[in-house]
Chains A and B, each alone.
Chain A
Amino acid sequence: AQSVTQLDSQVPVFEEAPVELRCNYSSSVSVYLFWYVQYPNQGLQLLLKYLSGSTLVESINGFEAEFNKSQTSFHLRKPSVHISDTAEYFCAVLYNFNKFYFGSGTKLNVKP
């Protein structure tokens, strides 16, 4: 069975500190990887995606993620977080071109 593992359910961090949210997936076939962000009482918003090409992908608000095929990982990083980054982050994998599998989410809590 396919699975997506987010190793940390909660990550507390101080403002302007760096952060890494971890994501591992189980698959030996080609996969397509995504990070979504969910603010309180809102739906999911696409943060960034890896479909092909460069293994390092970036979002418009300073987040980046690197696809590592050998480690089956797609960790999300930001060198300096802001209070407004407080949200829940979900890693997702597209399998078989018709099913998205999501991790259980990581709550990022940025403290002043």
Chain B
Amino acid sequence: ETGVTQSPTHLIKTRGQQVTLRCSSQSGHNTVSWYQQALGQGPQFIFQYYREEENGRGNFPPRFSGLQFPNYSSELNVNALELDDSALYLCASSFGTGPLVPYEQYFGPGTRLTVT
């Protein structure tokens, strides 16, 4: 059983550019969440996808968008990059059995994005 993987490991972009980060969920998982972890802070919830549909969103602007594919891999897209977008982006997968059932998440190692 493979764990959660993310690519790339590190990325440097220029302000105003667009970036796509990728995540492969743990085998059998149907739910993926994305988080932004700024230096010295805890992860901040961006959004969650459940069976290819957005299932919840945190306090992030629309230039943060995502996709979940039929094989449950996922992408995070950020448009019009700003300096404050520099952070570690974490993907977490889980297996949801229903809308009102608690679950635990398994995190990938993250992608370190630097915006200059």
Which A residues contact B (CB, under 8 angstroms)? Answer: 4, 6, 32, 34, 36, 42-46, 49, 51-52, 90, 94, 96-105
Query: Of A6, A100, A103, which contacts B45 at CB under 8 A?
Result: A100
A103 touches B42 (CB 8 A): yes
Contact pick for B107, options A43, A52, A98, A101, CB 8 Å: A43
Q: Mark B85-116, 1 if CB is under 8 A from A, else 0.
A: 00000101000000111111111111000000
Least CB distance, A82 to chain B, in whole angstroms: 23
Contact B105–A100 (Cβ < 8 Å) = yes
Residues in A whose Cβ lies below 8 Å from that of B110: 43
CB closest residue in chain B, given A101:
B45
How far is it, in angstroms, between the C-alpha of A43 and the C-alpha of B107 when the chains are bound?
6
A3 to nearest B CB, angstroms? Answer: 11
Give chain A residues whose Cβ lies under 8 Å from the Cβ of B104.
34, 46, 49
Contact A98:B48 (CB < 8 A) given known A49-B104, A51-B102: yes
B58 within 8 A of A: yes
For A105, give the chain B residue with the smallest CB separation: B42
A105 to B39, CA, bound (A): 11
Can you name 7 A-B pairs with beta carbons within 8 Å?
A6-B42, A43-B108, A49-B104, A90-B42, A100-B92, A104-B40, A105-B40
Question: 1/0 per residue B30-72: CB within 8 Å of A?
Answer: 0001010000111111001010000110100000000000000
Q: Tell me the minimal C-beta distance from A32 to chain B in angstroms.
A: 4
In angstroms, Cα B104 to Cα A51, docked, is 9
CB distance from B55 to the nearest CB of A (A): 5
Q: How far is the CA of A48 from the CA of B109 in the complex (A)?
A: 19
Contact across chains for A94 and B102 when beta carbons are under 8 A apart: yes
- B107 & A105 in contact (Cβ 8 Å cutoff): no
A98 near B56: Cβ-Cβ < 8 Å: yes
Given contacts A34-B104, A101-B45, 8 further A-B pairs with CB under 8 A are: A36-B107, A43-B4, A44-B90, A52-B102, A96-B56, A97-B99, A98-B56, A104-B40
A104 touches B56 (CB 8 A): no
- Evaluate contact between B55 and A98: CB separation under 8 angstroms: yes
B41/A99 in contact, CB under 8 A: no
